[in-house]
Chains A and B, each alone.
Chain A
Amino acid sequence: MTLSSQDELLLNAYVDGELDPIEATRFEQRLRADAALNAQVETLRALRGALRSDLAEDVPSPELRRRIMAKSNPPPRADRNSWMALAASFLIGAVLAGATSFGALNYRSSDDLAEQLVSAHVRALMAPQPTDVASSSHHTVKPWFNGKLAFAPTVADLGAQGFPLVGGRVDVVRVEPVASLVYSHGKHLISLFEMPNTSGASAPVTSHKKQGYLALSWSEGGISYWAVSDTAPDELENFVKLFRAATANP
């Protein structure tokens, strides 16, 4: 059958859901009266079905995914333009793939965790707002986490000691939501991550350096704490000392 080009465009736009409701209603009235036009609609829909028939198998290989994930986390000092070098970073790619549940590799080392938390801190700095709830009061920030986490994070007001609370947000680390408190100190921000400590044992403060950021971690009361910042190391140590003193059980 022959369609005017206007009708042909109308037919296509109808099948694509691009007509406004009034035009669509009008077109449907025509369809009811016109079997040949109706057949054309069915043809276009059948073409769509045929094109989409092997969609489920039409996915990239895990190998390509690994190579590209490796790109988003290349090893230090590797030449980023060299895919040979990136091939050597297979392990790091696999680690990252694990983090996004494409791989089965388990990684639990605190080094990888430090890297993830530093990334979360950097990402927060790039976002328009480093926090999802902005408040300098722990009475506002602490209840905001209700229902978002499987544990109650510890929140301390350290404004009087030079580390005012800026707010809080939830990050996802190892596919688990973790609490992130944001404190400021001068021009620097400190992210304090809190997550349940699976072993339950207390651990003293350990320091990790990643990409120019310092991370201090410790565990107590069933929670692992990670403070991440680019502020001076002694300032961050001071922050950790003050936080632990303010939240210590009497």
Chain B
Amino acid sequence: MNVDEASDQARFTEVFVPYLVDAFRLARWLAGSRADAEDIVQEASMRAFKYIRGFSGGNPRAWVLTIVRNTSYSWLAKNRPKDVVLSDDLNQDDREQFEQAGTQEMQTPETALIAKLEAEQVRKAMASLPAPFREILVLREIHDLDYCTIAEVAALPIGTVMSRLARARRLLSATIANGIP
């Protein structure tokens, strides 16, 4: 092993490994199952290792989450091509419709009803949302990222982050209020 490889490994250990839990959570919410998430994180770790020299400082957590996000989508496209709707693939008209669709009306389920939900029901409700909405909710609520960092990880303008997050919450509320499938 030469010095370059040794330093790549040291960097990988410093940059990727501390965010393994974050990586796993994002992959699990995007893919739905623990087994798939582990596959994705393993693949993401190989990508991260390969590109570790490209990490030029900045926020390592955002860097790791970006790689996991991209790996999740390429993994899903390969393994479950029928399930994924990527907003990146939509044309401009479709995309606007996609962002604006639905009513502004917020179907507000009882707070007590939400509090009583089992983790499994929450995952089901989330699974029924299109991936771009699920992703933004996970980055915000599970990873507790601020809008700027979400914009960085999801490669979106900050205005889109805001409108998509609002819409994602509306959709999730409506799903819960209407009875989770």
- List the interface of chain A (C-beta within 8 A of B): 1-5, 8-9, 11-13, 16-18, 39-40, 42-44, 46-55, 57-61, 64-65, 67-69, 71-74, 76, 80-81, 83, 118-119, 122-123, 126, 211-212, 230
Residues of A within 8 A of B23 (CB): 60
A9→B114 contact, CB < 8 A: no
Contact of A52 among B37, B42, B49, B141 (CB under 8 A): B141
Asked if residues A60 and B111 are in contact (CB atoms below 8 Å), the reply is: no
CB 8 Å contact bits of B152-163 with A (1 = contact, 0 = none): 000000000011
Structural contact, A12 and B20, CB atoms closer than 8 A: no
Given A16-B140, A47-B169, A72 and B17 contact (CB-CB distance below 8 Å):
yes
Chain B interface extent, by class = 35 or more
* A60–B24 CB distance below 8 A: yes
Q: Which residue of A lies closest to B28 (CB)?
A: A58
In Å, the complex CA distance between A79 and B2 comes to: 14
Contacting pair A58 B2 (CB below 8 A): no
Q: In terms of DSSP, what is the predominant structure of the interface of chain B? A: helix
State whether A50 touches B115 (Cβ < 8 A). yes
Whether the Cβ atoms of B115 and A46 lie closer than 8 Å is yes
- Give which listed residue, B10, B24, B34, B165, contacts A126 with CB less than 8 A: B10
Are A53 and B7 CB-contacts (below 8 A) given A40-B106, A68-B45? no
Are B3 and A13 neighbours in the complex by a CB distance under 8 Å? Answer: no
Q: List 18 A-B contacts (CB under 8 A).
A: A1-B108, A3-B106, A9-B166, A13-B147, A13-B162, A16-B147, A39-B108, A46-B114, A47-B141, A51-B122, A57-B119, A58-B24, A58-B142, A61-B34, A68-B45, A72-B9, A80-B49, A123-B14
Contact of A119 among B2, B10, B114, B163 (CB under 8 A): B10
Question: CB-CB < 8 A to A53: which residues of B?
Answer: 117, 119, 122
Which of A4, A8, A12, A64 touches B41 (beta carbons < 8 Å)? A64
- Chain A residues, CB < 8 A from B61: none
Q: What is the distance, in angstroms, from B19's C-beta to the closest C-beta of chain A? A: 11
Q: Is the CB of A122 within 8 A of B3?
A: yes
Pair A67/B28 contact, Cβ less than 8 Å? no
Closest B residue to A123 by beta carbon equals B10
Question: Given known contacts A47-B173, A122-B3, is B115 in contact with A83 (CB within 8 Å)?
Answer: no
Distance in Å: Cβ of A118 to nearest Cβ of chain B = 8
Check if A69 sits within 8 Å of B42, measured CB to CB.
no
Q: 0/1 per residue, B18-48, Cβ < 8 Å to A?
A: 0011011100100000100110011001100
* Chain B residues within 8 Å of A17, by CB: 146
Residue numbers in A under 8 Å from B115 (CB-CB): 46, 49-50
Provide the bound-state CA to CA distance between A69 and B13, in Å.
Answer: 8
Q: Are A64 and B114 touching (Cβ within 8 A)? A: no
What mask results when residues 56 to 91 of chain B are scored 1 for a CB within 8 Å of chain A, else 0?
A: 000000000000000000000000000000000000
